[in-house]
Amino acid sequence: MGRANRIVAALALGSFALLACAPQASGPTERPAVAEPARPTILRVALPGDVDHFGLRFQLGGAGSEFNQLVNAFLTKIDNREEVRPYLLETLPSQDDGTWVVNADGTMRTTLRLRPGVMWHDGQPMTAHDIAFAYRLYRDPEMPNRWVEPERLMTDVVARDDRTAEVNWSEPYFFAGYPEVKDLVPLPRHLLEDLYNRDKQGFINSSFWSSAEYVGAGPFRVTEHERGVGITLTANPLFFMGKPKVDTVRLELVPDPNARVARLLSGVIDFTEALTADQAAVLRDQWKGSSAGVVYVSIANTLTLRTQFRDVPNHQSALRDVRVRRALIHAIDRDALADAATTGLSTAADTTFPRDHYLYPRIEQAIAKYPFDIRRTEELLTEAGWGKGADGMFRNPAGQLFDIEVWAGATNTIRTTAATVVVDYWKRAGLNGRQFGIPQGSDREFQASFPGFDVSGGDPGGYRTITSAEIPRPENRFAGPNSGSYANPEFDALVFRLNATLQRAERDDITVATERLFTMDVAKPTLIYDVKPAAGLSQVGGIRGYSGGANSRSYLFNSEEWTVE
């Protein structure tokens, strides 16, 4: 699958020759030199905030994709070319070899075969029983699951032997043959099952998830967690892909973005992907003409405005009117927004699909578009019952201003910049816009209670997270990713068909139809293509790019291959 990832600057590595003097033909016999042991290598990575939870599925906050890539291993891995490859699995399920069977009634069976020799960090072998155990937890409504799919489509997961798990599906599902990073993530049953059976709340609150007790199967293991300071990881000698080339990874917590830049320039840290486009430009200028460091820029996904449909405190109920939603997007100059938010590194986007995607030409012709057009904004708002007064502000028949609030994560600079620009354009159009920075560490119920829009990300074809099944509710601990509570039966039906269709041509047709409906409905309008810059010292090698796939995006996806000179 094509993607817009582009490495803007190539890593320049110097090559060094080791020179040795030839022995003298005559003279005193010298004692042979004893080779010094290799100096342990340390990779110092700056993170913007602490990690509250080292798992992927049971996150109450904290761990980002970069950390997950380091300590955890998943059934598959998605590389920087967005290709799905078996990781813990020996091979992907296939209809050709009988490991993916579609029954006449639409139910399915996939067979997952673990590769041999996979060990947990504590030396215990990973088995298919760990997958079956994890499935029990992911289907348990008392657990703080971040996602309910795809496990809710499974009827059971059975360990047939130590390396073979059989997954039975209630309906056709295309990605059964291409598991995503978050799907059926194994858990160490030998450490967790007893506590889970005895005390579910104790299981959730266990120090296992946030300390050196944590046991995963990734290339590095947690050896120390200093709250508010940093995390030390050591190379896992049992890693099934071979021991990583770097001995230690030190994750330094550097909340101040300017401090991260300063530490890179001074050589105190080696790498960070917690950079804004502005900071990337500063580093590129500082390193220009030298071999001190390298800046990388990739197109990560898109920035979108997620609409709130649920009746939350201070909700702007006018957003339920599609005319209003369309009017608001027409009021934004998204080309100017792209320049402001990414220092000219990106462009406006009408869809989450990148321009080099094979489906883009068809999607571009099918979707609804909302070019910058203040006149159209005024027409649509007038149709919806809002009138513009002598002061240039829109009011409803009761005389109330059109209040609209935009939320964005307080630590995500590109999103906060986008929110600032959006609010400014809405004010110019006569709307009473306000911006709110979501405090770090806010709980999920609070994050899902934005009254207008929040600035979020969008992945190509990432429709499952916006279906009505993923609406955050008290019964799922507000963990559903559809935080705007968008619900459209026609959209749900298209997504169901998309997930159930196994033929590529038919999937493409449904994808185009879904894009058209979604853009017509303006439930999560796309703003710009989001850039993901990173920077590292030239002594760091092995960086291949930015990985694709939802929930696994990181330059560190191949960290076991990285080197530090």
User: CA 499, 505, 507: angle at the middle one, nearest 5?
Assistant: 20
- Mean pLDDT along residues 437-457: 91
The helix (H) or strand (E) run that includes residue 298 is: strand 293-307
322: in domain: yes
Structure tokens at 461: 């074809």
Give pLDDT, residue 65: 59
- Average pLDDT for residues 515-526, to the nearest whole number? 95
pLDDT tens track for 364-410 = 999 999 999 999 999 999 999 999 999 999 999 999 999 999 999 87
Average pLDDT over residues 432-453: 92
Per-residue pLDDT tens digits for 529-549? 988 899 999 999 999 988 876
Q: Is residue 417 one of the residues assigned to a domain?
A: yes
pLDDT recorded at residue 21: 31
Q: Does some domain include residue 137?
A: no
Domain annotation covers residue 509: yes
380 lies in some domain = yes
Q: Residue 127: name the closest of 117, 136, 139, 135 by CA.
A: 117
Residue 148 has pLDDT above 90, yes or no: no
What stretch of H or E contains 155? strand 154-161
Element (DSSP H or E) covering residue 418: helix 413-428
pLDDT for res 223: 97
Q: Is the pLDDT of residue 172 over 50?
A: yes
- Determine, yes or no, domain membership for 347: yes
The DSSP result for 520-546, as a single string, is HHTSS-EEEEEEEEEEEETTEE-----
CATH no. for residue 423? 3.10.105.10
Q: What pLDDT does residue 85 have?
A: 93
pLDDT tier at 13, thresholds 50, 70, 90: very low
The closest alpha carbon to 299, from 363, 347, 260, belongs to 347
Task: List pLDDT tens digits, range 225-277.
Answer: 999 899 999 999 999 999 999 999 999 999 998 999 999 999 999 999 988 88
Backbone φ and ψ for 311, nearest 5 degrees, come out as -80, 85
Number of Cβ within 10 Å of residue 9's Cβ equals 16
Q: 454 in a domain, yes or no?
A: yes
Of 352, 307, 335, whose CA–CA distance to 548 is shortest?
352
Please state the domain count of the chain: 1
Give the structural domain span for 521: 301-530
Q: Are 541 and 43 in contact (CB under 8 A)?
A: no
- CA–CA separation, 34 and 479 (whole Å): 58
- Candidate from 33-47, 108-122, 151-165, 426-440 with smallest mean pLDDT: 33-47
pLDDT for position 24: 34
**Strand ranges, E, within 208-283:** 220-226, 230-235, 248-253, 271-272
Is 22 contained in some domain?
no
